């Protein structure tokens, strides 16, 4: 009788019966494996009270405590060579909101202890003082802070200082890993993101913004970016530096040298140190490189005494083709962002000249971009950092 009964069921009912049986056999669909995220670890939590204690003036803006996670993720360096990188994710302890991811690119650092993933509430640590506050604001932000190549789990590599390609890719892949982290932890994040950073972080912010717009617009929408005191016009900055004949602020000359030596290696120029630096400084830098710590070299603070005269003239006259090509390849100012950019810079900046913000504003406006330059006064590069944070805080609360 059962066979006769089934024979007279409608074809539609038979299909539904079979589909129901199959669905019971299959069970729930498996969650796809993360493409970028390798691991995450909750390293600490910080209460709203502790965050308010950082600065009484910040207290009215603080609405949440935060949970701090160290993540490891996949990226490429150089392009096509997969490596592991690391960074920090700071999540408000408020699971009711949909968060905007706030990608915070850190400034120049010289030790592993300063990297975001080494997060700790001591000293003048950017991740703790600024990253924590960003995630604790009443307007809900999930803060994402890449270490960059050369810090955290990639510390066996030399940091490619002011290298457009690696700063952009490491920061973009960190955002991708952060999105996967959010999904795995049932944290609701928007497609819209905001970007900020000061000094090398300002440069990295501009490089990241351009990379997202040109290669990842289907994944993220930059709502606004707030780069501060970055070397967007690398050619113009190099010419400014090599025109100086006076002692620069502590470590500044070493940072300029670090940039040029990075390009010397990454672009396969491989010029000997004696072609780039004066004889005494070439010896000191060679010894420092051999010891594994370039910045340990006690070099001259005066660019005219640090760099070889022939090298200086080759940049000023644009006759050193290999280095000029490398410098131009790392410019990040002459393009059209599709979302608002606010450039913060002090006219008194003694390390990264204000020409960077001025030239970026002019070039971008000529292409029809929504960009403006906000002056941080006449303070020097290091003094203007606090003014930058205060100014960006106002923008983030809008």
In a domain, 27, yes or no: no
Residue 107 CA to residue 384 CA, distance in Å, equals: 13
Axis crossing angle, helix 234-242 with helix 321-329, rounded to the nearest 10: 130
First vs last C-alpha separation in the chain: 73
pLDDT in tens, 222-257: 999 999 999 999 999 999 999 999 999 999 999 999
- What pLDDT is stored for residue 57 in this prediction? 86
pTM for the whole thing?
0.92
Which of 300, 329, 358 is the C-terminal boundary of a domain?
329
Task: Mark whether 205 and 228 lie in a shared domain.
Answer: yes
- What pLDDT is stored for residue 124 in this prediction? 67
Task: Mark whether 309 and 217 lie in a shared domain.
Answer: no
In a domain, 94, yes or no: yes
CA atoms within 13 A on the CB side of 141: 28
Task: Mark whether 313 and 372 lie in a shared domain.
Answer: no
**Cα of 163 vs its chain's centroid, Å:** 11
Task: Mark whether 215 and 129 lie in a shared domain.
Answer: yes
- What pLDDT is stored for residue 28 in this prediction? 56
In a domain, 135, yes or no: yes
Task: Mark whether 281 and 321 lie in a shared domain.
Answer: yes
Q: Report yes or no: 242 and 306 within 8 Å, Cβ to Cβ.
A: no
In a domain, 10, yes or no: no
- What pLDDT is stored for residue 122 in this prediction? 73
Q: Report yes or no: 221 and 193 within 8 Å, Cβ to Cβ.
A: yes
Torsion of CA 222, 224, 226, 232, to 10 degrees: 60
Task: Mark whether 202 and 55 lie in a shared domain.
Answer: yes
Give residues with Cβ within 8 angstroms of 77, minimum separation 6: 83, 85, 149, 154, 157, 160, 166, 169, 170
Task: Mark whether 166 and 305 lie in a shared domain.
Answer: no
Task: Mark whether 108 and 251 lie in a shared domain.
Answer: no
Q: Which residues of the chain register pLDDT less than 70?
A: 1-31, 123-124
Task: Mark whether 152 and 283 lie in a shared domain.
Answer: no
Task: Mark whether 319 and 208 lie in a shared domain.
Answer: no
Q: Report yes or no: 333 and 202 within 8 Å, Cβ to Cβ.
A: no
Task: Mark whether 227 and 356 lie in a shared domain.
Answer: yes
pLDDT in tens, 258-296: 999 999 999 999 999 999 999 999 999 999 999 999 999
Give residues with Cβ within 8 angstroms of 58, minimum separation 6: 51, 52, 133, 393
The CATH number for 388's domain is 3.40.50.1820
Give residues with Cβ within 8 angstroms of 184, minimum separation 6: 31, 34, 37, 40
Query: What's the total number of domains in the chain?
Result: 2
Residue 393 CA to residue 398 CA, distance in Å, equals: 9
- What pLDDT is stored for residue 97 in this prediction? 77
- What pLDDT is stored for residue 278 in this prediction? 98
Residue 263 CA to residue 205 CA, distance in Å, equals: 20
Distances (CA, A) of 309 to 236, 278, 312, 315: 18, 8, 5, 10
Task: Mark whether 265 and 306 lie in a shared domain.
Answer: yes
Containing structural domain, residue 317: 234-329
Give residues with Cβ within 8 angstroms of 385, minimum separation 6: 107, 198, 199
In a domain, 74, yes or no: yes
In a domain, 25, yes or no: no
């Amino acid at each position: 009788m059962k066979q006769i009964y089934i024979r007279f069921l409608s074809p539609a009912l038979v299909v539904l019966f079979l589909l129901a049986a199959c669905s019971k056999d299959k069970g729930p669909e498996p969650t796809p494996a993360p493409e970028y995220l390798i691991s995450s670890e909750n390293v600490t939590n910080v209460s709203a009270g502790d965050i308010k204690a950082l600065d009484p003036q910040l207290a009215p803006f603080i609405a949440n405590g935060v949970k701090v996670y160290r993540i490891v993720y996949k990226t490429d360096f150089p392009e096509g060579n997969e490596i592991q990188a690391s960074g920090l994710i700071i999540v408000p302890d408020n699971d009711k909101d949909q968060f905007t991811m706030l990608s915070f690119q850190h400034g120049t650092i010289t030790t592993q202890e300063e990297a975001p993933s080494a997060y700790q509430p001591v000293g003048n640590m950017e991740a703790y003082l600024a990253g924590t506050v960003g995630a604790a604001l009443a307007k809900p932000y999930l803060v994402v802070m890449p270490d960059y190549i050369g810090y955290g789990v990639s510390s066996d590599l030399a940091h490619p200082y002011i290298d457009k390609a690696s700063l952009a890719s490491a920061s973009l892949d960190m955002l991708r890993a952060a999105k996967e982290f959010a999904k795995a932890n049932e944290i609701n994040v928007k497609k819209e993101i905001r970007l900020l950073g000061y000094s090398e972080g300002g440069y990295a912010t501009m490089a990241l913004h351009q990379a997202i717009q040109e290669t990842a617009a289907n994944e993220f929408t930059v709502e606004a970016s707030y780069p501060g005191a970055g070397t967007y016009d690398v050619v113009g900055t190099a010419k400014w530096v090599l025109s100086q004949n006076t002692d620069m602020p502590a470590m500044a000359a070493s940072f300029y040298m670090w940039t040029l030596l990075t390009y010397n290696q990454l672009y396969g120029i491989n010029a000997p140190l004696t072609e780039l630096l004066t004889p005494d400084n070439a010896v000191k830098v060679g010894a420092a490189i051999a010891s594994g710590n370039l910045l340990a070299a006690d070099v001259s603070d005066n660019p005219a005494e640090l760099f070889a005269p022939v090298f200086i003239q080759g940049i000023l006259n644009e006759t050193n083709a290999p280095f000029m090509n490398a410098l131009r390849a790392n410019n990040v100012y002459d393009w059209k962002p599709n979302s608002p950019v606010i450039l913060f810079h002090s006219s008194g900046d003694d390390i990264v000249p204000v020409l960077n913000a001025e030239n970026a504003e002019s070039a971008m406006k000529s292409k029809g971009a929504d960009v403006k330059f906000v002056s941080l006064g006449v303070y020097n590069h290091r003094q203007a950092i606090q003014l930058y944070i205060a100014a960006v805080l106002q923008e983030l609360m809008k």
